A and B are shown apart, each in its own frame.
Chain A
Amino acid sequence: AQRVTQPEKLLSVFKGAPVELKCNYSYSGSPELFWYVQYSRQRLQLLLRHISRESIKGFTADLNKGETSFHLKKPFAQEEDSAMYYCALSGFGNEKLTFGTGTRLTIIP
């Protein structure tokens, strides 16, 4: 069975401070990991995926297979980063996404 754990339901960070949203997963094969974001009054949207190794809106995430983690990081938080963030996993060749419970990030001005 595949599982995604986001240990923090709420996270508050001052503007300009570094941000790290934690995500741990459980999966026996080769996972594909994603971060989704939902801004206020907007739909859930893809932020980034591990296979593309990209930086979106200053956010990066590295897949650590040894620690089974996929933490989302940003060096300097901005007010517009306030949103709900979901980590998600699918198995290789398995198209279904399993989501974590989400972390609500609030950036304090």
Chain B
Amino acid sequence: EADIYQTPRYLVIGTGKKITLECSQTMGHDKMYWYQQDPGMELHLIHYSYGVNSTEKGDLSSESTVSRIRTEHFPLTLESARPSHTSQYLCASSAQNSYGYTFGSGTRLTVV
């Protein structure tokens, strides 16, 4: 089934660890996005990509990095996790913005 998948769903990790949050979509969408959302707060765009080998930083500064080597895959990496990175991370994709985004289920990250 064409969809967007995020793994893991929940992650608890120690300070200083390197982590990668996975996001894959099977809809053939060129555009993909990462949003960060703290509980009860708005979604903030941290990274986006309009195609392979194209990545841009979003409106909210983030210490994370992303890559887009394949159309369907848009992983987010934190080289050294800190408690301030504790948040929910949402991945989304779109074919054309007028049709809106399709969101994944999110990864809830806790850094202890």
| B-binding residues in A (CB < 8 A) | 9, 32, 34, 36, 43-46, 49, 51, 86, 90, 94-102
Contacts and interface: CB of A to CB of B under 8 A. Distances in A.
23 contacts: A9-B40, A34-B100, A43-B103, A44-B90, A44-B103, A45-B102, A45-B103, A46-B101, A49-B98, A49-B100, A86-B43, A90-B97, A94-B97, A95-B48, A95-B50, A96-B45, A96-B48, A97-B97, A99-B35, A99-B42, A99-B43, A101-B42, A102-B42
Given A43-B103, A43-B106, A86-B43, 17 more contacts: A32-B98, A34-B100, A36-B100, A36-B103, A43-B105, A46-B101, A46-B102, A49-B99, A49-B100, A95-B31, A95-B48, A95-B94, A96-B45, A96-B48, A97-B33, A97-B97, A99-B35
Nearest to B90: A44
Instruction: Name the prevailing secondary structure of the B interface residues.
Output: mixed
Contacts of A95: 31, 48, 50, 94, 97
Nearest to B100: A46
Given A43-B106, A44-B90, A95-B50, A100 B42 contact: yes
